[in-house]
Amino acid sequence: MKFAVDWDKCSGIGICEALAPDLFEVNVDGKLELLQGTELPDDRIAEIESAISGCPTSALSKRI
Amino acid sequence: MQKRTEALVVVGASLAGIRAAEAARAGGFTGSITLIGDEIHPPYDRPSLSKKFLEPAVDADAIHLTTTEELEAKQIQLALGERATYLDTAAGVVGTEAGEHHYSAAIIATGSAASTLPWGNDLDGVHTLRTLEDARVVRKALDSGARTVIVGGGFVGAEVATAARKRGLPVTIVEAATVPLVRAVGNEMGSALARLHERNGAELLCGIGVAGLRGNGRVHTVELADGREIQADLVVVGIGTRPATGWLEGSGLVLDDGVVCDAGLRSSVDGVFAAGDVARWTNTLFDQPMRIEHFTAAAEQGRWVGRQVAGHMPNEPFVAVPYFWSDWYGDRIQFVGVVTDDHEVVEGDLDSQHFVTLFRRNGHVVGALTLNGQRQIMKYRRFIADRSAFEVAVAYAASKRLAIATREA
């Protein structure tokens, strides 16, 4: 599945990192780093959906 | 899992409530879902009210948590502007000012209410900051160049001070305790964070209470308990909150600073759950009951109880590492876990722009507070979630210092 980041909304709050630390990491500048990109196998869908709905600034979204 | 084709009533249409309703539907609940809220607005993001929303010209739609289309697609009915007045657990009814809602499962997500001062509430310019209406008025006052006095040195107050200073406006924070944020982060850390105010041009007065507010239609003076007077065009009252359980008196639910729940967010009555600010549950990760007023708790607990209603994980505990963040004058404060008296600064130092402090209980790391530690905070959260030995987290901090030192060598 694919997802997108709205970089204007992302402020590095880190809930995505808490949910899936091998996919998301807030770096030393306080910015989000995507450790495995934005296209992931289907077995990660549940975690990505949790990250999408858990983001306090709605910076993550599904991509078709 | 049995799929119940009955009626879910969620009382409280903010973050916990909407997440619960969505999760019940997504989890396979096929009955009716009704989301009742006493505010007229569809669910919106309350933490934004002291953050993004106080910036000039932000529009209310930007903070909504869902859309009419999404609610229709998920067949979630909204009953807005409807205050819940009683819960009849024998009959399975939530009573509101407008009527009755029958339920087979109910989720209490009525949140908390801002405490107010005993006087001054009849004056213009005196506000708690809890609702969209409050935030609009506060923002307008800041846009007009208000001289602000904030009563209470908590996080909401500090965020309003941040918004005032961002506009270059004068602001004074009056905190009754000698140190702010003692319950949230402890005495020493509270002092360290308090220094951020003076560093950024906000005046902080500690160990002094407010004795009265004076005005002529609109507030103009704050009277302190020691006789001093401060001029103010805007007074924001951030002195604490209380869980909204008054309407549940006599319902049969056990109430004690919130709706008392077991480890799975189940109330004392079958079929009734609680989530968000109103829920006091046993967090087995810390072996203690707690009630958390954070964004993440509302979202995660709401989602959890929604899934429970849909028949998932009936006997599992809801386990969480509490987390909050707050942005003060461009610096970010983050905290995970719980606070104890036994703590150690393991990165940076308390007078600098960056530090990490770890909290210990029974040899384990149970909490972490960071200032501008966005890179580290979730690593420490992991140690806490794993119940790591304190030394393990300290060693991690040391290894980071070594890595940085080596890079800089």
pTM, two decimals, is 0.94
Contact between A56 and B45 using a beta-carbon 8 Å cutoff: yes
Measured in degrees and rounded to the nearest 5, phi and psi for residue B254 equal -75, 125
A–B: how many Cβ contacts below 8 A? 39
Q: Where are the beta strands (DSSP E) in B265-330?
A: 272-274, 279-283, 288-290, 323-328
Residue B405: what pLDDT? Answer: 73
Q: Residue-wise over B209-240: b if at least 16 C-beta within 10 A, else e?
A: ebeebebeeebbebebeeeeebebbbbbbbbe
Which residues of chain B does A10 touch, with a Cβ-Cβ cutoff of 8 Å?
Answer: none
Provide the percentage of residues in chain B whose pLDDT is more than 90.
92
Distance (Å) from the alpha carbon of B273 to chain A's nearest alpha carbon: 21
Distance (Å) from the alpha carbon of A18 to chain B's nearest alpha carbon: 6
Tens-digit pLDDT profile for residues B57-73: 777 778 899 999 999 99
CB-count exposure of residue B162 (10 Å: 0-12, 13-18, 19+): buried
Tens-digit pLDDT profile for residues A28-64: 888 999 999 999 999 999 999 999 989 999 999 999 7
What type of residue sits at position B355? F
Cα separation values, B301 from A8, B194, B267, Å: 28, 31, 13
Residue B409: what pLDDT? Answer: 56
Check: CB of residue A48 under 8 Å from CB of residue A40. Answer: yes
Is the pLDDT at B1 greater than 70, yes or no?
no
Q: Are strands B126-128 and B234-237 parallel, antiparallel or unpaired?
A: parallel
> What ipTM does this complex have?
0.95
Q: Partners of B249 in the beta sheet?
A: none
Tens-digit pLDDT profile for residues B95-144: 999 999 999 999 999 999 999 999 888 999 999 999 999 999 999 999 99
Q: Which of B355, B356, B314 lies closest to B337, judged by CA? A: B356
Tens-digit pLDDT profile for residues B219-234: 999 999 999 999 999 9
Check: CB of residue B9 under 8 Å from CB of residue B48. Answer: no
Contact between A14 and B296 using a beta-carbon 8 Å cutoff: no
Contact between B381 and A13 using a beta-carbon 8 Å cutoff: no
Distance (Å) from the alpha carbon of A42 to chain B's nearest alpha carbon: 18
Give the residue-averaged pLDDT of B254-279: 98
Whether A27 and chain B come into contact, CB under 8 Å, resolves to: yes
